[in-house]
Each structure stands twice: as C-alpha cells, then as structure tokens.
C-alpha cells in the first residue's frame, strides 16, 4: 500500500487492475497457435512450426497445462504485449490480439 492510501482505494486499484488483466486475456481466442515452436526464416522473420507444440500445450483442448505458472516453468513462453500484437510475424491473422490491434491501426490509416 502506498503511504496515505486507504484500504478502500487499494481494493479499488486492485480490482481495476484485475479487470484490466481479464479484458486483456479475453482477447485470446485460445487457438493455441502461439504455443508452437517459432523458427526463423530470415534474420527478423519468425514463423510457427505447427509440428512442434510446446510440451505444456494440450494439443486436443489447445489449453496450456501450466497456465498460472507458465512464465516460471517454460523459458520459451512469451508474454503477449501490444508490440507482439502489432508486429510479431508468428501470430496468425485471426489471433484476437492481432485482429484488435492491427485492425485498429489499419482503421486509422484507411
Ligand atoms: S495465437 Fe493469439 S488467439 Fe491464439 S492462443 Fe495465441 S494469443 Fe491466443
Ligand atoms: S507454457 Fe506458454 S507456450 Fe507453453 S503451452 Fe503454456 S502458454 Fe503456451
């Protein structure tokens, strides 16, 4: 808690942060495509090798088996960011983050 902050405002801040995290996560369509090995085709160009899933991915349900601890247990797991959403070449066009952010970018340009 910051100095001078009441328990009520701390709770409000925590709830707002949780709600924002949930909104961010809700953009994921849970296709699991970003949970496969990424390989380079050139210096900066990555693609997804759909024959090599992350060992923590349940390929039937397409859900992560270690979701809560994924960044701790999997060195290759990448946190989704707006930069990834806008520029990562390995994300599929129908990824919820790609659609949201590249779509917004495109709308502004049109
Ligand atoms: S590619 Fe996008 S929509 Fe699919 S699992 Fe990854 S973050 Fe979610
Ligand atoms: S650890 Fe990361 S990359 Fe592996 S399945 Fe889970 S979310 Fe996907």
pLDDT of 59-69, one tens digit each? 999 999 999 99
In a domain, 72, yes or no: yes
The residue among 47, 51, 67, 71 whose CA lies nearest residue 59 is 51
Task: Say yes or no: CB of residue 70 within 6 Å of ligand 2.
Answer: yes
Distance CA 7, CA 55 (A): 42
Return the pLDDT at 47.
82
Return the pLDDT at 8.
82
Distance CA 20, CA 14 (A): 10
In a domain, 20, yes or no: yes
In a domain, 102, yes or no: yes
pLDDT, tens digit (0-9, with 9 covering 90-100), for 19-32: 999 999 999 999 99
pLDDT, tens digit (0-9, with 9 covering 90-100), for 58-96: 999 999 999 999 999 999 898 999 999 999 988 999 999
**Range(s) of the domain holding residue 83:** 7-109
In a domain, 2, yes or no: no
pTM of the model: 0.82
In a domain, 23, yes or no: yes
The domain total for the chain is: 1
Element (H, E) at 39: strand 36-40
Given ligand 2 and candidates 48, 67, 75, which is best to mutate, with the most ligand atoms within 8 Å of its CB?
A: 67
In a domain, 1, yes or no: no
In a domain, 24, yes or no: yes
Ligand 1 atom at shortest distance from the alpha carbon of 28:
8
In a domain, 41, yes or no: yes
Task: Say yes or no: CB of residue 85 within 6 Å of ligand 2.
Answer: no
Return the pLDDT at 56.
98
Task: Say yes or no: CB of residue 32 within 6 Å of ligand 1.
Answer: yes
| Ligand found nearest the CA of 80 | 1
Ligand 2 atom at shortest distance from the alpha carbon of 73:
1
């Amino acid at each position: 808690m910051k100095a001078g902050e009441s328990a009520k405002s701390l709770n409000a801040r925590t709830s707002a942060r949780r709600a924002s995290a949930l909104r961010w996560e809700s953009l994921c369509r849970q296709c699991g495509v970003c949970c496969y090995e990424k390989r380079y085709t050139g210096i900066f160009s990555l693609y997804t090798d759909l024959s090599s899933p992350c060992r923590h991915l349940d390929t039937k349900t397409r859900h992560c088996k270690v979701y809560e601890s994924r960044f701790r247990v999997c060195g290759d797991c990448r946190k989704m960011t707006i930069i990834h959403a806008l520029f990562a070449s390995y994300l599929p066009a129908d990824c919820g983050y790609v659609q949201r952010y590249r779509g917004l970018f495109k709308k502004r340009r049109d």
